[in-house]
Structure 1
Amino acid sequence: MELLKEYLDYAVIGLLGAMLFLAVALSVERWLYYRQVAVEQFDHLETFRAALTRNLTAIASVGANAPYVGLLGTVLGIMITFYDLGQGGAIETAAVMTGLALALKATALGLAVAIPSILLYNGLMRRVEVLVAEWRRVHGA
């Protein structure tokens, strides 16, 4: 339990930080690709659509799962707080409130990662729709 208590924050913050880094890096890669993609070089719409949507699933997955990682950190933090209270014997309101407040930061961080990831995903999907419409105009489909 002491190991979990000592490293929980680092693990949750590290995992969420890695997830955010992944979402931002893939979003930048996609944005740069969309800026230089030539609609004319693709003969088939599905090939074009596959090229456009590459890596978007990973961005959406970060947005969908970051709140759960944060929630897991919160649940584990609350478990640690209750464990410490059980071991101490005396229940102090300040100790309970402090432990719960610190545990909730993991949920807040999870949401702080999820919201921009979903915004990035939605913005990139809109760009995919525009490029597909341009492909149809160019190819008369």
Structure 2
Amino acid sequence: MRLLRSTDLALRVLMRLAVAGESTPTTRDVAAGMDVPYTHLAKVVAELQHMGLLTARRGRGGGLNLTEQGRTASVGAVVRAFEGDGDVVDCEGPTPCPLNSACRLRGALRRAQEAFFASLDPITVTDIAAEPTGALLLGISRAAGTPGP
């Protein structure tokens, strides 16, 4: 299974903010630190804000902050939200699969997908940003010119 780019960015934003301390990096700061287009990251940040996992303030003194809900968020829940709950394969697409009515593969792939999500459920954002990852995240951010704590 391969994660969508938006899912990858969402997890990296949450990890970066989990180690931000008192600093409040802007979306542009985080995008520069991750070397990703600002427009892509802005969409991800908007979704994370909508989910209640971070706050974003505009203007002077603004920036991104992880909420308490964001710190304790399940990685599995974040991945589910960004990946959606669709099937791994599209059996109903423009050219429906002729095995659709008697296929056992679709169910097996669905169970495997759910097992993947379930294995991520007990892991929190704080867990994935813990040491030694936290120090590395801060080092990368400082090297890219984004503020650290």
Per the normalisation by structure 1, the TM-score is: 0.39
Per the normalisation by structure 2, the TM-score is: 0.37
Structure that is richer in strand per residue: 2
